[in-house]
Amino acid sequence: MRIQAIVVRIIRQFFRDKRTLALMIVAPMFVLFLMDLVFNGETYEPHMAIDSNVPQQLVDALKEADAHVATMTKTKAMDKLDEQQIDAFIEMDKATLRLTLEGSDPSVSKQVLMTVQKAAQSLMPPMKQTLTIDTVYMYGSEHMALFDNFGPVLIGFFIFFFVFLIAGVSFLRERTSGTLERLLATPLKRWEIVIGYVIGFGIFTTIQASLISWFAIHVLNMMMEGSFGYVLLITFLLAMTALTLGTLLSAFANNELQMIQFIPLVVVPQVFFSGLFNLDTMEPWLRSIGVAMPLYYGADALREIMIRGKGWEAISFDVYVLVGFSLLFMVLNVLALKKYRKL
């Protein structure tokens, strides 16, 4: 079969070009390792929900300590907490202040704890002496490192980035070396070329995604609450999206350098919307740009699985969107090849 011929050829080329193979697998691991070593915190004004039994004196103190405070019932607060709309819920149990943290983002948790402690310090006696704080984590724990929160996004990002680049450049080389023209002089159909690339690269991206996920979770001990199978599914889909987008955009580049120019235009903006940085301070209309970015969905799903231990229900939408992106890019690819042969 002709598609099979393309697949076999891609596999052979990969094994001849060991450096590219290494770039695809070792480089992301290396960068993840560095990030693991380097990362530090940031400041953030936490959003808290407060039970009506919390004394006004404490509410004022929290506001004084730069917290956004809203009063609501416990059930409603727990829902909002689960949806990550708020960071913490505060209720009073006699003289004990019970603090429930969402917990996914350790920098946010830390900020909440600091704010609450600062507020408690500023209280008037006798409350200052009698108040004790009891902290509960909804997800994560006090041992969770900042890297655990970034980790899932980084796994997604590096897979996306390297697959995008390598797939794009390979397809570009097919064009600049004239082999694409040779293929198009044969009865090979345009969609067969696209499917051949998807399968051929798909094999390597599966290996890549598995190794990187394994490395991050088992060697770097990244937090992992959910199932490894789901992580593989999401990383594979992200890689497929990157592959199809890379080959598509390579049609609009004339050489390798122009392919690299797509990185700041296409790849880097996705990082900003993927949840690596807190977007709560951004204008809502700007924030909504994220919905057009594959990494936004991949990162969301990976966080749901790895930090919050969620299953299919929480990630199904992300999965459908990623599959949709891949299919869309594949169709566009077949159409873009029309530029080189009408038939």
Partner 1 sequence: MVIQLQHVYKQFHKKEVIHDVSLTVNEGEIFGMLGPSGAGKTTIVKMIAGIDTATKGEIHVLGVRMPNLQTMARIGFMAQSDALYGELTALENLDFFASIYGLKGKKKKQRIDEVLELVNLTDDRKKAIHQFSGGMKRRLSLAASLLHEPEVLILDEPTVGIDPLLRQAIWEELERIRQKGTTIVVTTHVMDEAEKCMRLAMIRNGQLIAIGSPEQLKKQTNALTLEQAFLQFGGVQS
Scan for tokens 């399968």, then name that residue: 199
From the list 71-79, 135-143, 179-187, 272-280, the region that binds partner 1 by CB under 8 A is 179-187
Q: Give the integer Cα–Cα distance in Å for 302 and 226.
A: 9
What b-and-e string marks burial along 128-137, b requiring 16 or more CB atoms within 10 Å of the CB? eeebeeebeb
Closest separation between CB of residue 26 and partner 1, Å?
19
From the list 9-17, 109-117, 257-265, 292-300, the region that binds partner 1 by CB under 8 A is 9-17
Q: Give the integer Cα–Cα distance in Å for 43 and 159.
A: 29
* Residue 8 found at the interface with partner 1 (CB under 8 A): yes
Q: Are 80 and 86 in contact (CB under 8 A)?
A: yes
Q: Are 174 and 340 in contact (CB under 8 A)?
A: no
What are the residues whose beta carbons fall under 8 Å from the beta carbon of 1, sequence distance 6 or more? none
Q: Give the integer Cα–Cα distance in Å for 124 and 222.
A: 42
Of positions 184, 199, 232, 279, contacts partner 1 by CB under 8 A? 184
Q: State how far Cα 166 lies from the chain centre.
A: 20
Q: Are 32 and 220 in contact (CB under 8 A)?
A: yes
Bridge partners of 198, per DSSP, are none
Closest separation between CB of residue 341 and partner 1, Å?
5
Q: Which of residues 301-340 bind partner 1 (CB under 8 A)?
A: 340
Handedness of CA 87, 65, 43, 129 (dihedral sign): negative
From the list 4-12, 55-63, 256-264, 267-275, the region that binds partner 1 by CB under 8 A is 4-12
Of positions 37, 38, 124, 185, contacts partner 1 by CB under 8 A? 185
From the list 67-75, 185-193, 278-286, 319-327, the region that binds partner 1 by CB under 8 A is 185-193
Of positions 63, 76, 128, 182, contacts partner 1 by CB under 8 A? 182
* Residue 342 found at the interface with partner 1 (CB under 8 A): yes
* Residue 52 found at the interface with partner 1 (CB under 8 A): no
Q: Are 21 and 14 in contact (CB under 8 A)?
A: yes
* Residue 186 found at the interface with partner 1 (CB under 8 A): yes
**Whose Cβ is closer to partner 1: residue 16's or residue 143's?**
16
Composition of the chain by helix, strand, coil, percent to 5: 65, 10, 25
Of positions 188, 266, 282, 289, contacts partner 1 by CB under 8 A? 188
Give the single-character DSSP code of 251.
T
Of positions 5, 34, 70, 323, contacts partner 1 by CB under 8 A? 5
Q: In what order do the strands lie in the sheet with 47-50?
A: 68-71, 47-50, 88-93, 96-101, 132-137
**Whose Cβ is closer to partner 1: residue 171's or residue 325's?**
171
Closest separation between CB of residue 340 and partner 1, Å?
7
From the list 106-114, 156-164, 172-180, 234-242, the region that binds partner 1 by CB under 8 A is 172-180
Handedness of CA 324, 170, 267, 18 (dihedral sign): positive
Closest separation between CB of residue 292 and partner 1, Å?
31
From the list 108-116, 178-186, 261-269, 290-298, the region that binds partner 1 by CB under 8 A is 178-186
| Residues near partner 1 (CB under 8 A) | 1-2, 4-6, 8-9, 12-13, 16-17, 177-179, 181-189, 340-343
